[in-house]
Homo-oligomer: A and B are copies of this chain.
Amino acid sequence: MSENTFESSDSARHAKPLRHVQSVTYQEPLPLELGGSLSSVTVAFETYGKLSAARDNAVLICHAISGDSHVARHDPEDDPGWWDILVGPEKPVDTNRFFVVCPNLLGGCRGTTGPGSINPASGKPYGRDFPTVTIRDMVEVQRKLLDHLGIAQLLAVVGGSIGGHQALAWNVHYPAQVRGTVALATSARLTSQALAFDVVGRNAILRDPHFHGGQYYGRPQGPDVGLALARMIGHITYLSREAMTQKFEADRLQPHDVAIEFEKTFSVGSYLGYQGTKFVERFDANSYLTLSLAMDLFDLGGTPGQLAASLSASRSRWLVLSFSSDWLFPPEQSRDIVNALIAKAAPASYCSVRSACGHDAFLLPDDFARYGEMVRAFLDNLATLPGAAAPVKDEPPGPTSIFHARRLDYDRIVELIPAGASVLDLGCGTGRLLARLKQKPHGRLVGIELDELKILAAIRRDLDVIHADLNGGLRAFADQEFDCVVLSQTLQAVQDVQGVIADMLRVGRTCIVSFPNLAYGPLRRMLSEEGRAPRSYGWLRDKWYDTRDIRFLSIADFEEFCREQEIRIDRQIALNTEVGHEILQDANLNADLAIFVISRSGAIA
């Protein structure tokens, strides 16, 4: 999809065909989702690594609209693959460990049956007689291929963009055959804006006078102008505005000297013209129409309920990744998928990866250090034996006694949570608390976190973690979905205190809130005797002007808050972390840290 993907290898490909491509042909008819059938289907594919004896290490890679089966190099002399950063020996999709299968899509033009294939009924290429195929049909062909390869269940299906649509569709149509799903830069259906661009692109092809009703094969000219225009529109949507600025502002009026008449004024135009022309050389316009329409017709539902119903059968564990500057498949669409998974209590992690690269980010190295490692960690965890606890990699303790205090805090919270309870940890950080809970019998464990690197760390701990801002981040969870919701040492950094606490009490039968106590004696004295803003004790370690804490409260303040908001206090624990024990007398003066177990008045605890 990105120019970086194909540009360098195009000429080589035209010179020598893909050396490692295999193919298999099914002679029986393939019935299609929207009616009709194909009398036979050939699938071109490439494989990497070895299928294990248990046949449990297969990873299916689904390519994007302009991709093909050549996802990675087979050896150092091989042409680059379109996802070389992700797939290969010791790469996140590690071909030393996994058996990777990448087929060309049904309807494509790189070996798998498509509109350019010979229609047995006429002896000519299908052209526009090629039926409308759907993402489901593509998945059906992939399933046949996996049968052929002796793979009953996938360790994981991985795809971005329309490749992500296929990954989603696997979970809809063959849920039992997918253990893990990695969906990147994708959506449950296209935005109206993305649809609109596709419609314009398709119509540029269809209304090209050289289209000849799709039977342009063998003629001196096909719908080259239309296909080039469609590709150019596509290219604009694959890049972010920032990325285009970066790429073209420096020499805005110096178009590169390219051998086409397309554009001689603006650099960005000469770039697009070049991309369009190269694409026409390697891609079939009918395939573009077919694949683009399949993408546009993909629709798992436009409401949260419909989407949740579509994904209801999924038994997979999920890693959903979006990219902050992707405006073709914007992050909120990935979040919709994640919300639907949350609604069915599916194990899922999500990150909106900070990126300037737009939709193409999932193919580019720029942000790969972060999201590639998330894919690696996710697959590593999937590949461990079922039931075996994944190793918890703990970060080294910090240089101050702060970490002592935090452990004391966690000790008590862990004690407060009954065995077998399901727990949602708000502001879970790297997942230390959840990792501890995981070591004893537990129910569903989910973390919410805003920091990308902490999310990566939590995924490495084999936890399910959702990238979200607490202020509004619980909407996806149902009433009373968790036995326990924890807000540990985070309340003081929350903007919308009332909203977050109310949402906790809605989602959790019981809630545990811990916070530093502003009325702890030494803090009182700082203000009353020294006339200084309290700081430097326990959690209030930063100065007034650089702390991330924005809310300051005492135990008495929180008690009053609970009274006013009709919140029941089920239990109250006060700690002095300086001396390391619990405070039983005059807690508001003697404790620096408070733990409250609360629930909604009237609810059954």
A interface residues, Cβ below 8 angstroms from B: 191-193, 195-197, 199-200, 203-204, 207, 209, 225, 229, 232-233, 236, 239, 241, 244-245, 247-249, 252, 262-263, 265-266, 268-269, 272-273, 293, 296-297, 299, 302, 327, 330, 497-498, 518-519, 523-525, 527-528, 530-534, 544-546, 550-557, 561, 588-589
A192-B247, A193-B244 given. 19 additional CB < 8 A pairs? A191-B244, A193-B236, A195-B266, A196-B232, A196-B236, A196-B268, A199-B266, A200-B229, A200-B272, A203-B273, A497-B546, A498-B546, A519-B527, A519-B533, A524-B531, A531-B555, A532-B556, A533-B557, A550-B550
Q: Tell which of B209, B262, B531, B546 touches A556, judged by Cβ atoms closer than 8 Å.
A: B531
CB distance from A364 to the nearest CB of B (A): 17
With both beta carbons as reference points, the residue of chain B lying nearest to A269 in the complex is identified as B199
CB distance from A556 to the nearest CB of B (A): 5
Knowing A233-B233, A249-B302, A265-B296 are in contact, say whether A241-B527 is a contact too (CB < 8 A). no
Knowing A192-B268, A561-B545 are in contact, say whether A552-B524 is a contact too (CB < 8 A). no
Contact A192 B553 (CB under 8 A): no
What residues of B have a CB within 8 angstroms of the CB of A302 in the complex?
A: 249, 252
CB distance from A156 to the nearest CB of B (A): 31
With both beta carbons as reference points, the residue of chain B lying nearest to A203 in the complex is identified as B262
Knowing A241-B327, A263-B199, A302-B249 are in contact, say whether A531-B519 is a contact too (CB < 8 A). yes
Knowing A262-B203, A266-B296, A544-B552 are in contact, say whether A192-B518 is a contact too (CB < 8 A). no
Q: How far is the CA of A588 from the CA of B265 in the complex (A)?
A: 66
Contact B207 A225 (CB under 8 A): yes
What residues of B have a CB within 8 angstroms of the CB of A268 in the complex?
A: 192, 195-196, 199
Interface of A is mostly: helix
Contact A199 B553 (CB under 8 A): no
Q: Tell which of B236, B497, B554 touches A532, judged by Cβ atoms closer than 8 Å.
A: B554
Q: How far is the CA of A524 from the CA of B192 in the complex (A)?
A: 57
Contact B200 A236 (CB under 8 A): yes
Q: How far is the CA of A192 from the CA of B252 in the complex (A)?
A: 8
What residues of B have a CB within 8 angstroms of the CB of A498 in the complex?
A: 545-546
What residues of B have a CB within 8 angstroms of the CB of A192 in the complex?
A: 241, 244-245, 247-249, 252, 268
Name, among A203, A296, A546, A553, the residue most crowded by chain B CB atoms within 10 Å (CB to CB): A203
Q: How far is the CA of A195 from the CA of B251 in the complex (A)?
A: 13
CB distance from A589 to the nearest CB of B (A): 6
Name, among A192, A207, A232, A544, the residue most crowded by chain B CB atoms within 10 Å (CB to CB): A192
